[in-house]
Structure 1
Amino acid sequence: MTHTLVIDTSYGSTVGLVGHRPIIETDSRTHVERLQVNIAKACEQAGIQPSDLTRIIVGTGPGPFTGLRAGIVTAKALAFATGAQLIGQNILDAQALLGIIRNNDGSLTPIAQHQAQTSDDGADKAETTERRLILAVNDARRRQLYFELIDAQAYRSALQTSQPAEQRRQLATLIRMDIDYPDSIVQRVNQAAKQLHTVAGDYRIDIIGHGAQRYSDAWNQLEQAYTILDASLPEQGKEGLQAFAELAITQLNGGATPAPAEPLYLRRPDVSVPNPLKHVLNHGAATAADTH
């Protein structure tokens, strides 16, 4: 029997066994300390031992340095100790998936059902005449957002292919994963959507993820209708955890190598190389060796 553990610390902390409700910590000041405790609790609730795990799926961000690294390091250590398969999954693709599978009543449709909703000629029977774009975001702090812009119709079609994950992503992505200020994001989205409009006609924009509500004033500058959902896929309960895991597992289609569990920061580090030490009297600039 397969036991799949999901760990995502790109925003707060979400831990859970697929098939069970996740344990969520939204307080960024405590989620790192509680991560291992919650993993043990999730295994206990599922009636298994950590040694029973067969697969671990870890969120790779983008997200803040400290919290993101804690989740990934924990996942790597646990996979090494248990022999479980380790798969990385970025959170923005998961947010985009949420925009596709979430129903008006808040429930989530299984991915397999969306994959089956195609006609013989490959057209998506669930897609309306109105095209949807999904602006997936995650709070990057410092008044910035991690984001990417996805064509919902192309994304759904890409899920049905056996191509490697990176190739599938390219088919659906209008703006690749990046970090920027909300006002600048709006300008970039307007430009990309305007180009698409000349080809595909009318569209609307779904803005999904942590920070979507926080920067709602900026979205008023969007040139087309939009809706906001301030949530993430792992936080949508048992069904969301299942969908997050299924998305990561689709990377294995066609025998492709799973995405590495490496953090996506997107922001340059705050540290920098210091200036040379000031010279004294007639001596030249001091070097590191001179200070010992």
Structure 2
Amino acid sequence: MLVLALDTATPAVTAGIVEVAPDRADATATLAVRVTRDARKHGELLMPEALAACAEAGVALADIDAVVVGTGPGPFTGLRVGMVTAAALGDALDVPVHGVCSLDAIAAEALDAGGPLLVVTDARRREVYWAAYSGGVQITGPHVEAPAALVARIPELGAVAAAGACAAGTGLRVVAPEAPGPAGLVACAVDALRAGVRPGPLEPLYLRRPDAVAPGPRKPVGTG
């Protein structure tokens, strides 16, 4: 099974091809990885990166059996690019599209933390997105709050290491990766992929309202 993995929840625009063996629970192989870091060009870069990943893996887009996409948390505009692209590809290719938490994907690829792990990414507005994991399982999150508030929680969480682009701000030992990768994205959906589960609608994890708001009614113009 060939899986196209996409993520635009962080400044990293990620696309890759992962092969999933249907008969071995531990058998996956990353055939191609394309990552470009530019928070302002998700829309311009994602589809070219997906096509480049296919070319690098030696497969055609029509050969893809499923799509996995990060559903955040992430800024509204960037996150929407990845999810809309994934949904459009799924519709065009008639393949399932599985959404996974982007923080879970980072945790899935994180080096052995030796204990509970925090995954922390940039939420802008002087805030971070974060979730905590133990044994690879999410135990709380995802949340969005100020870095100082997260640091104050660390003793109760018992975290010993952190991953993600904002990991250094926790004061914990930092482990890779900084952003979701194809292997981690697919790892979060591999059981459903192998079982042939038809996923439900994609649900974005914005965690807060978008900056853009609908304009209010026009004020009446005085005639006096």
TM-score scaled by length of structure 2: 0.81
Taking the aligned partners of 1:93 and 1:103, their CA distance within structure 2 comes to 15
1:134 alignment partner in structure 2: 117
- The structure with the greater share of residues assigned to strand is 2
How many correspondences in the alignment? 211
1:231 alignment partner in structure 2: 177
Query: In 2 relative to 1, CA 266–82 (structure 1 residues): closer, same or farther, beyond 3 Å?
Result: same
Which runs of no fewer than 5 residues in structure 1 stay unpaired?
105-130, 156-171, 194-202, 221-225, 236-240, 283-292
Q: Does 1:13 align with 2:4?
A: no
Give CA-to-partner distance per residue, 1:143-169, whole Å, 9 cap, x none.
Answer: 11111122237x2xxxxxxxxxxxxxx
Q: CA deviation at 1:204?
A: 4.5
1:144 alignment partner in structure 2: 127
Letter in 2 for 1:143: R
Task: Name the Cα RMSD after superposition.
Answer: 2.7
Q: Does 1:208 align with 2:150?
A: no
Task: Report the 3-state secondary structure (helix = DSSP H, G, I; strand = E; otherwise coil) of the residue aligned with 1:22.
Answer: strand
Taking the aligned partners of 1:272 and 1:208, their CA distance within structure 2 comes to 36
Query: In 2 relative to 1, CA 48–205 (structure 1 residues): closer, same or farther, beyond 3 Å?
Result: same
1:124 alignment partner in structure 2: none
1:288 alignment partner in structure 2: none
Task: Report the 3-state secondary structure (helix = DSSP H, G, I; strand = E; otherwise coil) of the residue aligned with 1:69.
Answer: helix
Task: Report the 3-state secondary structure (helix = DSSP H, G, I; strand = E; otherwise coil) of the residue aligned with 2:103.
Answer: helix
Q: Does 1:73 align with 2:84?
A: yes
Query: In 2 relative to 1, CA 90–76 (structure 1 residues): closer, same or farther, beyond 3 Å?
Result: same
Q: CA deviation at 1:134?
A: 1.2
Taking the aligned partners of 1:88 and 1:94, their CA distance within structure 2 comes to 11
Give CA-to-partner distance per residue, 1:45-97, whole Å, 9 cap, x none.
Answer: 22222111101001111111111111111111111011111100111112222
Q: CA deviation at 1:256?
A: 6.2
1:246 alignment partner in structure 2: 187
Taking the aligned partners of 1:150 and 1:272, their CA distance within structure 2 comes to 37
Q: CA deviation at 1:279?
A: 7.3
Give CA-to-partner distance per residue, 1:191-227, whole Å, 9 cap, x none.
Answer: x33xxxxxxxxx55211112223xx2xx34xxxxx31
Q: Does 1:263 align with 2:204?
A: yes
Cα contact 1:233–1:244 (8 A) shared by 2: no
Cα contact 1:62–1:90 (8 A) shared by 2: yes
Taking the aligned partners of 1:137 and 1:148, their CA distance within structure 2 comes to 7
TM-score scaled by length of structure 1: 0.64
Taking the aligned partners of 2:176 and 2:37, their CA distance within structure 1 comes to 13
Query: In 2 relative to 1, CA 188–259 (structure 1 residues): closer, same or farther, beyond 3 Å?
Result: farther
Give CA-to-partner distance per residue, 1:120-140, whole Å, 9 cap, x none.
Answer: xxxxxxxxxxx7221111211
1:185 alignment partner in structure 2: 150
Query: In 2 relative to 1, CA 281–187 (structure 1 residues): closer, same or farther, beyond 3 Å?
Result: farther
Q: Does 1:3 align with 2:14?
A: no
Task: Report the 3-state secondary structure (helix = DSSP H, G, I; strand = E; otherwise coil) of the residue aligned with 1:21.
Answer: strand
- Listed as ranges, the matches of 1:154-173 within 5 Å are 155=137, 172-173=138-139
Taking the aligned partners of 1:232 and 1:185, their CA distance within structure 2 comes to 18
Which of 77, 88, 94 is the matching residue for 1:83?
94
Query: In 2 relative to 1, CA 41–255 (structure 1 residues): closer, same or farther, beyond 3 Å?
Result: closer
Cα contact 1:25–1:31 (8 A) shared by 2: no
Cα contact 1:98–1:232 (8 A) shared by 2: no
- The structure with the greater share of residues assigned to helix is 1
Q: CA deviation at 1:29?
A: 2.2
